[in-house]
Amino acid sequence: MQHLWNDPDQATESNLISIAVMHNGLVLLEDCKTILRRDYSNMIDKVKLISGGGSGNEPAYTGFVGPGMLTAAICGDISSAPPVNTILRVIDEIGTDHLPGVLLIVPNYPGHRINFGLAKLRAEKMGIYVKMIIVGDDVCLENETSIEKRGLVGILFINKIAGAMAENGENLETIYNVCNRIINSGEIATISIGMKISFSYKDNLCSRNINVTEMEIGYGIHGESGICQVNSIEDVVTVIVHKLVILSQNSNEMTSDRRFPVGHSVAVIINNFGGSNQIECNIFTLEVLKQLKLLDLLVQRVYTGYLMTSLDSSGFQVSLLNLSVDPNLIKYLDSITLAPAWPKVLTAEMVGFEQEYCNDNLSSIKAEGPMIDDRTGQVLLIIISFACEALIACTEQLNIMDEECGDGDCGTTLARGANAIKTAIKGNKINGSNPFITFMHISCIIEKEMGGLQGGLYSLFFHAVAKVKVFAETDDEVIPRTWLNALIAGNKVISEFGKVSFGDRTMLDPLISAQNVLSNSLDIQMHPIQAFGEAVKAAEKCAIQTVYTRIHKTSLMKCKKFKYPDPGAHAIGIWMRAAYEGVKLKLVCQCEL
């Protein structure tokens, strides 16, 4: 992947300078690649905290320097531990003659352990009071006794807890003991899933391609391979959350050996590796919270965001902290910090799991206007199903056409609404015996399921059709001209709300053409089904003509010839043709057009 820098070393230095410039409370220690609290020399009675690691995982660790968290963060080269002499110089700078002492919070990687450990030994020989804790929170390979736990995003829980305790004036021994207990007693656990960034939309985590194979459980922050690849992302959240919570699995999750017992309260960090978009992050977070609820854990605090990234990677880390073992932990998490990268917290009161919709109870819509016999009502629903199936079959065709001037999702949007209507019909949720109810139901389903401009216009269209006078206000018989009046009402509302008129290269063009031909055909006493057929042919012809017509006046493009007809207009011809074929088939009309 191409980056905005040519020299990684210079990029690291420039990044640290930028951090110091943008945050008045931070300073850069010259020639040490280290960010310090500006007031570190005034922390007379408080333990000072140092953490750090390789560059390339920003905002870790420099973004967590500030009152209430770290005193200093030391950066190494890209994915490399800071050198011993740099670590020692920082300890010397902030720890010499500092009686409360210094705590080193170190992620569990060999280079980090060795370099921070050597610096600690040398600092102690210099008379500096210093302790070190190693944070290994990765549970991906927990059963492999020969492999030590890696230090992942769970270290930020330790930074926050230790920072709050230090700010409150706790002594070094107490802070060390609390943090060490959390790490070594299994109160914290982290797991990751990720992959190197692909620049193909089809390989995106949130894409429609279900054959993504690059994603790996246990993917590391330095791009290390995970323990297994995932062929489908559908069940991956269940897998990783269960691995976090359950130590050994049996047939009953609630009686399995659990790391986090039933009913315990937890805090959750959901860390974005950097390459996943906000939609993916929101979906992933929702699924994690659902799984934790299913496992009978009480989520008290949630932290999400770009906290410990990985260069050129997408994916997430999930870290859990048990809040039930020590009631003080939630107090430490809630303590104020000015560290710039510590995220806004979501509390238990803010987090909800149930989907909330506006009132979409179709059964609450009461019948109005004329009724039609059950057989005819069933025929009406079959005809509507034909129209839906035609739109679904043409999904990709409409998407391709939409790529010329739109987002490439016209077919997908229409298919979403069509599928929802078909499902409702199969589930007997749409009443075909009362046209008012039929079209009100369709309007409500589209409003809920489709979204976008098309969703809004189609919902308005069918609402207007339902409200036409004969359907909604009288008990008069439904006659062919009733359907014409319904079409006129629907077209009027599209024109008014869409701010379009005939010739603007929109879905309104074929609808108006169909309206005009249907009106003329009925005026000359043509058979109603034959008149419908003529209207359909007019709509199809008009849709094709949108290749040549001017586009809507609000567009930057002017009159031109397009490669494809307008997809919205073309869709009108598709579902009208399918509806007409359904009418011919089910009403056994012998008209041949």
Active site residues: 222
CA-based torsion, 586, 423, 356, 409: positive or negative? negative
Treating both helix axes as pointing N-terminal to C-terminal, what angle do 395-402 and 410-426 enclose, rounded to 10 degrees?
150
Positive or negative CA dihedral for 221, 222, 226, 229?
positive
Distance separating the N- and C-terminal Cα atoms of the chain: 59
Identity of the amino acid at 72: A
Is 159 in contact with 277 (CB distance < 8 Å)? no
Peptide bond into 261 cis (omega under 30): no
Handedness of CA 234, 236, 237, 239 (dihedral sign): positive
> Residue 68: left (phi > 0), alpha (psi -120 to 50), or beta?
left
DSSP letter string, 234-294: TTHHHHHHHHHHEEE--S-TTTSEESS-TT-EEEEEEEE-SSS-HHHHHHHHHHHHHHHHH
**With left for phi above 0 and alpha for psi between -120 and 50, is residue 122 left, alpha or beta?**
alpha
Phi, psi of 588, rounded to the nearest 5 degrees:
50, 50
- For CA atoms 35, 37, 38, 41, give the dihedral sign: negative
- The answer to whether 101 and 172 have CB atoms below 8 angstroms apart is yes
Report d(CA 262, CA 270) in Å as an integer: 21
Q: Which amino acid is at 99?
A: L
> Please, which residues bridge with residue 195 across strands?
314
Distance CA 547, CA 524 (A): 31
Q: Nearest CA to 593 among 499, 523, 527?
A: 527
- Distance CA(423)–CA(384), nearest Å, equals 12
The Cα–Cα gap between 172 and 113 comes to 20
What are the φ/ψ torsions at residue 551 (nearest 5 degrees)? -90, 175
Residue 131, strand partner residues: 103
The two tokens of residue 55 are 């560059």
Looking at the DSSP assignment, which residues form a beta bridge with residue 271? 305, 317
Q: Which helix (H) or strand (E) holds 317?
A: strand 313-322
Bridge partners of residue 104, in order along the sequence:
50, 132
Query: Which helix (H) or strand (E) is 440 found in, with range?
Result: helix 435-449
Contact call for residues 256 and 247 (beta carbons, < 8 A): yes
Residue 546 — φ and ψ, nearest 5°? -70, -5
